[in-house]
A = this chain, B = another copy of it.
Amino acid sequence: MSTKEIVLPLVIVQIVLLILFCVFGRYAPPGGDEKYPLFQDVHVMIFIGFGFLMTFLKRYGYSSVGFTLLLGSFIIQWAILCQGFFELNADYKIEIGIESIYRADIAAASVLISVGVVLGRTTVPHLLIMGLIEIVVFSANSYLGTKVLQVADAGGSIFVHAFGAYFGLAVSYVLNRKKKNKEGSSETAASLAEANYTSDLFAMIGTVFLYIYWPSFNAIELEGSQKSMAIVNTYLSLAACTITAFAASMLLTHEKKFDMVHVQNSTLAGGVAVGAAANLMIQPLGAVAIGILAGVISVYGYSRLSPLIEKRLGIPDTCGVHNLHGMPGILSGLFSVLMAGIATEELYGADLYSVYPARDATTGRNAGEQAGYQLFGLAITIAVAVGTGLLTGKLKILEF
């Protein structure tokens, strides 16, 4: 999996985490237990879902699951601390409870998404460094977006999926140029994948658990009727996306079989695409429509765009993250702009102010302003992700 060089970084990292937990970590006051079953669903998505989904890379098969366990275990500790620094209590302590751990898992999703872009073309220590940096930026950007700008993004399509995808793509761009300059050539994403019957079935464990528990991912921050709506919307969007992805896969491939990459990935684009609007009044129709759109875009991306992006822009994307998290994340963000623009108290009742807290009397935003903030939040997230991703890739320590 990697050379002995990794021992020292791991030891240092875990000792630093220990010290930080000693200085800053305290238990949160009781509460949040009702979120625990949904947290467990998300936990399965992170460690089983992402872990097994990436076994499609046969020669990294085992490592993808073991590696997800290792990287995830580091990221969740680090994310508890980073996210906690933005919400220190009066004694300058981080209060750790159920909310901290499910938010740490969500942060881990963002890193695992970025990892999917460069997987197989870099080493474990480099991925740890990338994750270390990414979580800092992720936490700051999420805080800025959700707390300062008050952008509504229940399922994290903007701050988790789009962020993770574009951060990873930016890192991949720089790494690929470094490699070309050094070796004169670079390994293509396609050359890494050597799926077979067995590895495809293992990957389907990941796909199906992600499909099953995605409604929990999109609903975990919500309560009451918004929670039920997010569950129903995600359920419908994924179902519609799956049918569409299978059909599009057939249309866009020359063979007479479904392309396994589409089956394993594009079927899930509906979960991303409905995310930022999962708790909005999109109605079952809206959920199904966005699922269909996501399925088409994602399969099109895998079969047409990704090869172009690799060839023309020099950005290899091992797992096709751009097609599962990138474009569907932007789609979701744009949809959330539209929905914010037409949100009225008539449509939402009193829920309007829990969906869009900035629209209450104190801040007094109107629908158009909220739509503007949604768009601004999306744009700044992509800008931050690309900018910090490029810088991360340029770090001397990441000389591959």
Contacts and interface: CB of A to CB of B under 8 A. Distances in A.
B231 A98 contact: yes
Given A66-B263, A77-B236, A33 B96 contact: no
A260 B73 contact: no
Nearest to A8: B247
A14 interface: yes
A323 to B, nearest CB: 18
Interface stretch (A42-50, A325-333, A368-376, A379-387): A42-50
B202 A201 contact: yes
Given A26-B284, A231-B98, A208 B76 contact: no
B208 A243 contact: no
A257 B2 CA distance: 6
Q: Looking at chain A's contact residues, is the secondary structure mostly helix, strand, loop, or mixed?
A: helix
Contact of A69 (B28, B235, B242): B242
Interface residues of A, number: 94
B36 A231 contact: yes
Contact of A283 (B27, B31, B225, B228): B27
B13 A213 contact: no
A197 B77 contact: no
B207 A62 contact: no
A4 B255 CA distance: 9
Contacts of A208: 47-48, 51, 65, 69
Interface in A77-120: 77, 96-98, 100-101
A42 to B, nearest CB: 10
Interface of A: 1-4, 6-7, 10-11, 13-14, 17-18, 21-22, 25-33, 36-37, 40-41, 43-44, 47-48, 51, 55, 61-62, 65-66, 69-70, 72-74, 76-77, 96-98, 100-101, 197-198, 200-202, 204-205, 207-209, 211-213, 216, 224-225, 227-229, 231-232, 235-236, 238-240, 242-244, 246-247, 250-251, 256-258, 260, 263, 267, 283-285, 288-289, 292
Closest 5 CB pairs of A and B: A25-B284, A30-B225, A73-B242, A10-B247, A73-B239
Given A6-B250, A69-B242, 6 more contacts: A13-B243, A14-B247, A17-B240, A37-B37, A76-B235, A205-B205
